[in-house]
Amino acid sequence: MANGFSLNGRVALITGGSRGLGLTMATALAAAGATVVLNARDPARLQQSAAALKAAGHGADIAAFDVKDAAAAEAAVAGIVDRHGRLDILINNAGTNWVKPLTEFATADFERVVATNLTALFVLAREAAKPMLRQGHGRIINISSVMGQLARPTIPAYVSTKHAVNGLTRSLAVELGPKGITVNAIAPGYFPTDINVKLQQDEAFSRFISARTPVGRWGRLEELGPVAVFLASDAASYVNGHTLMVDGGLTVSL
């Protein structure tokens, strides 16, 4: 079964892949043999991250575009296929958040979060599915959250979109599964990333999360990469439409 986790010869697009959880997953996929294409909006940051992967002996490329730009996403996927001849894995990781009390939460801010956290995932899955369908094989992995199961105050857009990501995952899994493409989601718990720096710095909240989580701590970045490799590999060929919680037991604990 060891070879079942190999990604040799596979090409993977990871959005939000220049840092944080995205780069962690990209690094794990590259170590398993995949050529990884890192996406973000900052070309310089992407080049730096890709250069580090190449220096470690991995195959890496970049695709700088804003995931909210549907035309740019479509062109980027086509460009990846032109350069590499295929696209086997999509990790829809790019996301954003906005924190405001409900009565102060502007409609434009809600719509911006939806555009990044949900609409972009749909567009990229649609475009990535086209070459995957021609190949008869593919893996789409959407990044959800424990907020796709639970909720916290003042982040209604984030909570709503992460719940919707789970539904989108199931819908695509049903449609694409018969055609050789599996679609799953990863729902991380609390990991230290750029998106939650303020929460990390809030000592009371950080202690609350550690106490609330059965394993007694926040997640470590290196604990997420192998999960992405599993879902991207042949080892997970019969896993479809599933949201895999990587949260230390947070969502099953009272």
pTM: 0.97
pLDDT digits (tens, 9 = 90+) for 124-168: 999 999 999 999 999 999 999 999 999 999 999 999 999 999 999
> Does residue 1 carry a pLDDT above 60?
no
Reported as a pLDDT band with limits 50, 70 and 90, residue 2 is low
Phi, psi of 247 (to 5 degrees): -140, 15
Write down the catalytic residue from 27, 145, 158, 173.
Answer: 158
Q: Identify the CA nearest to 21 among candidates 33, 9, 29.
A: 29
Q: Identify the CA nearest to 125 among candidates 162, 95, 90.
A: 90
CA distance 163 to 150: 9
To the query of whether residue 158 is one of the catalytic residues in this protein, the response is yes
- CATH code matching the domain that covers 2-249, chosen among 3.40.50.720, 1.25.60.10, 3.60.40.10, 1.10.3720.10: 3.40.50.720
Query: Are the C-beta atoms of residues 220 and 254 closer than 8 Å to each other?
Result: no
Query: Are the C-beta atoms of residues 253 and 52 closer than 8 Å to each other?
Result: no
pLDDT digits (tens, 9 = 90+) for 89-120: 999 999 999 999 999 999 999 999 999 999 99
Residue ranges per structural domain of the chain: 2-249
The torsion region of residue 16 among left (phi > 0), alpha (psi -120 to 50) and beta comes to left
Q: Identify the CA nearest to 95 among candidates 113, 72, 74.
A: 113
Query: In sequence order, what are the residues at sequence separation of 6 or more whose Cβ sits closer than 8 angstroms to the Cβ of residue 20?
Result: 193, 194, 195, 221
> Which run of H or of E encompasses 182?
strand 181-188
